Amino acid sequence: MATSFLITSWLRAFFALQESALDSRDVIEIPDGDEDVIRWPRTSARDVRAIVELLEPYIRNQPLRFGGRGLGRRWRSSIDALECHELDAEYRDNRTFWRALPAICLYLHSQSVPLPPPEVWTALLARFRAPITPQDLHVDTTQTDSHDSLRTTR
């Protein structure tokens, strides 16, 4: 599976990551109103860690300008659980992470931060080419998050 997005900006980087993850991982959907649906991929902590390890140096090197502190807090809260999370388990903060990621990419884009080289994106996106089956991805039960109206789709 090759991404249909040529990564030429941080915005396109987000869409490439999202497309790759949605295409190769199960998806959680929550009804949002009459016909709208909120969805995010069921990525593992290992998947999220790979994305974070790529983005962190670029984020850390940015000065905190107007709005940056709040964005930084939002980003940190979406990845704090990685420290003590089992890497092969479904990342329990996936929803928070996938909601923070577009804002981070938009911020990096707005600051004209140079992109990593294409081979870095190729390597990162390659991890999504080998699908994880629901049997391979188990839920980390050390902290539960109850979502009564969640649906898993493929």
pLDDT digits (tens, 9 = 90+) for 22-62: 998 889 999 888 788 889 999 998 999 999 999 988 888 87
Q: Is the pTM for the entire model greater than 0.85?
A: no
| Least confident among 110-114, 127-131, 141-145 | 141-145
Helix 68-79 vs helix 45-60: crossing angle, to nearest 10:
150
If 0-12 CB within 10 Å is exposed, 13-18 middle and 19+ buried, where does residue 26 land?
A: middle
* Domain residue spans of the chain: 10-132
Q: What is the mean pLDDT of residues 115-143?
A: 72
Vertex 144: Cα angle to 139 and 150 (nearest 5)? 75
Q: How are beta strands 36-41 and 27-32 bridged, if at all?
A: antiparallel
Which of the 8 DSSP states describes residue 44? B
Tens of pLDDT, residues 132-149: 555 555 444 444 443 433
